[in-house]
Amino acid sequence: MYYLPTCALLALAALTSCRAGAPAPGPAPDVRGYGAAIRVDPATLRLSGVVRLAVAAPADGALELDLAQEIDVLSVRVDAGAADYIRRGHRLRVPLRAGARTVEVRYAGTPAAGLYAGRAADQRVIYTDSWPQRGAGWLPAVHHPSDPASLELALELPLPWEAVASGAARSVTTTPDGFRRWHFSLGADAPAYTFAFAAADFAALRDSSGAVPVTHYLLAGDSSRVRGLSRVAPALDTLAALLGPYPYSTFATVEVPLGFDGMENAAAVFLRAGLYRTGPRALEEVAFHEAAHQWLGNRVVPADWRDLWIAEGAATYLTTVLYERLDGANAARSARARMARLTREDATRPLRPAILEHPEEALSTTVYGKGGAVFHLLRLTVGDDAFFGALRDLAFRARPTSTNDLRRAMERASGADLGPFFAYWVHGGRVPVLRTHWDSERRTLRWRVEGAHGVLDGLPLELRLIQVGEDRVVPLGDGRVVMRGTGEPEALPVGVVMRVED
């Protein structure tokens, strides 16, 4: 992409002149941490801020940041001095010399996206949504999953607004002009799209029953609707036993008027306000999914947006593992049957697209349901020890993880050649066909699997059969079962994506 040779965009969008002497392009610097101080006017959503980025610049190069084009850049400094930079649209390019350690950006404006206001439980709520790059509306950053970093956030809001954000609240003070300043510290790294904050009149309900301190932030009018979150603490303990220590120091759930069910913001997951009124199971399932993301998605980050299925598939599958551990095998089977029930289009779409014009194009039932089913088949293929051992190893190393990295980790742990498995399930566009035949007179269902090409051989797969008055699970390899009723049963493969055809 070509950048116009212009420098600072000031508050009135007046251009200053550029200075010569910018270094030649080199390797991209690594952002190690963000230290941001932001003041927000909840009435207008106008914000002003300064962010100090800790960087590692091993060679002359440039730091490429995203910042919404309606946000004015007031100044940029590198280490101790004013810096040249190039601004075009939402891109901010800051040339760096080798050895540069800090970049400071001052900015102000009213974002068109990334910072929102809505209503829920009879009150106004402001909140962020940073995925995939909408966080550029409130934070100049590398908005790509492959460069996770820590976050220190000082957030100022007028009294009596209360705030919650990614990380632990370290202090709350009041400024002389009537603002409340909250200091949040995330500590461990996370991708910038998981940085978030929200402000409202919250009721904070704390749960110290597990190893991780948990706080549920409910809008004050919904403070009694916490029942669906009662098992979040044991879910975190279960995930830690499977995947290794929880990555952050605290965990929070936050009720906000999202347009979707949940967001895995680091250490402070956001849950759609409507879920709190639809029954505890729906709320719990989303909370479990976002909790699993703290390991797979936030600590183990996708190397590229095309690898998004690793994060979403893992969180979807680990949600079923939580039900397996907390409620037993039948609960897990039910969840896995729903997980693998996809349209033909979603079932046959490759998990890792060859081309992806925009991250949001990857969001479909494919990365969730088919991705979760692939993790289930990986577990059955390599065994529990190798499967969870590989995931723990990835979490311990905490590096950007590609699809090939995942395959190699599973192969190291198991000693198996997973090339054919990944070629069929991840990169391919085919799925097996479950061919069924119902004999109503004999009340007998027969079936066979076609087109599996050896990728299911020897796996202990199951089939869920639902008929009026009967809901049972049988081994997929049996091929025949007698049912009690006369109506044709619905056949649902458990945890494996198939096209079911008569």
Sign of CA dihedral 121, 123, 128, 131: positive
Residues 137 and 168 both lie in one domain: yes
Q: Please report the pLDDT score of residue 4 as a whole number.
A: 26
Q: Please report the pLDDT score of residue 187 as a whole number.
A: 87
Tell me the residue type at 153.
L
From 425, 448, 465, give the residue that closes a domain: 425
| 6 lies in some domain | no
Residues 385 and 442 both lie in one domain: no
- Write phi, then psi, for 288 (nearest 5 degrees): -60, -45
Q: In 197-253, which residue ranges form alpha helices assigned H by DSSP?
A: 232-243
Residues 42 and 105 both lie in one domain: yes
Share of the chain above pLDDT 90, in %: 90
Residues 116 and 212 both lie in one domain: yes
From 369, 402, 425, give the residue that closes a domain: 425
Q: Please report the pLDDT score of residue 469 as a whole number.
A: 87
Both tokens of 331, joined, read 């609960």
Q: What angle do CA 284, 129, 232 make, to 5 degrees?
A: 20
Q: How far apart are CA 157 and CA 46, in angstroms?
A: 11
Q: Please report the pLDDT score of residue 24 as a whole number.
A: 42
Helix, strand or coil for residue 249?
A: coil
Q: Please report the pLDDT score of residue 501 as a whole number.
A: 93
**Domain extent at residue 439:** 433-501
Q: b vs e for 114-141, b when ≥16 Cβ sit within 10 Å of the residue's Cβ? A: bbbeeebbeeebbbbbbbbbbbbbbbbb
Mean pLDDT for the stretch of residues 288-310: 97
Q: Please report the pLDDT score of residue 19 as a whole number.
A: 32
Q: What is the CATH number of the domain that holds 326?
A: 1.10.390.10
pLDDT tops 80 at residue 16:
no
Residues 465 and 384 both lie in one domain: no
| 151 lies in some domain | yes
Q: Please report the pLDDT score of residue 23 as a whole number.
A: 42
Closest CA to 252 of 139, 180, 169, 134: 169
Residue 438 class from Cβ within 10 Å (0-12 exposed, 13-18 middle, 19+ buried)?
A: middle
Q: Please report the pLDDT score of residue 27 as a whole number.
A: 64
Residues 45 and 186 both lie in one domain: yes
| 91 lies in some domain | no
CA distances from 175 to 41, 171, 180, 428 (A): 15, 13, 6, 58
Can you tell me which residue has the tokens 């709190």?
276
Q: 3-state SS of 339-403?
A: HCCCCHHHHHCCCCCCCCCCHHHHCCHHHHHHHHHHHHHHHHHHCHHHHHHHHHHHHHHCCCECH
Q: What angle do CA 196, 200, 206 make, to 5 degrees?
A: 80
CB 191 within 8 A of CB 359: no
Q: Tens of pLDDT along 125-139?
A: 999 999 999 999 999
- pTM to 2 decimals? 0.93
Q: Tens of pLDDT along 92-109?
A: 999 999 999 999 999 999
| 64 lies in some domain | no
From 249, 264, 293, give the residue that closes a domain: 293
Q: Tens of pLDDT along 467-490?
A: 998 999 999 998 999 999 989 999
Residues 396 and 495 both lie in one domain: no
Residues 249 and 149 both lie in one domain: yes
pLDDT tops 50 at residue 14:
no
pLDDT tops 80 at residue 165:
yes
The C-alpha R_g of the chain, in whole angstroms, comes to 25
Q: Tens of pLDDT along 421-456?
A: 999 999 999 999 999 999 999 999 999 999 998 899
CA distances from 44 to 23, 41, 126 (A): 40, 6, 10
Q: How much of the chain is in helix, strand and coil states, percent to nearest 5?
A: 30, 35, 40
Residues 378 and 417 both lie in one domain: yes
CB 191 within 8 A of CB 151: no
Q: Tens of pLDDT along 325-352?
A: 999 999 999 999 999 999 999 999 999 9
Share of the chain above pLDDT 70, in %: 95
Per-residue DSSP letters for 264-318? --TTEEEEEGGGGGS-HHHHHHHHHHHHHHTTBTTTB-BSSGGGHHHHHHHHHHH
Residues 339 and 309 both lie in one domain: yes
CA distances from 184 to 22, 229, 418, 464 (A): 35, 23, 43, 47
Mean pLDDT for the stretch of residues 365-388: 98
Give the pLDDT band of residue 142 (cuts 50, 70, 90): very high
Residues 313 and 459 both lie in one domain: no
| 87 lies in some domain | no
| 65 lies in some domain | no
Please state the domain count of the chain: 3
CB 36 within 8 A of CB 152: yes
Contacts of 139 (CB under 8 A, 6+ apart): 34, 36, 38, 49, 51, 130, 192, 195
| 39 lies in some domain | yes
Dihedral angle, C-alpha 118, 121, 123, 127, nearest 10 °? -40
Residues 318 and 263 both lie in one domain: no
| 396 lies in some domain | yes
Mean pLDDT for the stretch of residues 193-204: 98
Q: Tens of pLDDT along 205-222?
A: 999 999 999 999 999 999
Q: Please report the pLDDT score of residue 80 as a whole number.
A: 83
pLDDT tops 70 at residue 162:
yes
Give the pLDDT band of residue 25 (cuts 50, 70, 90): very low
Q: Which is more confident, 17 or 263?
A: 263
Give the pLDDT band of residue 279 (cuts 50, 70, 90): confident
Q: What is the CATH number of the domain that holds 51?
A: 2.60.40.1730
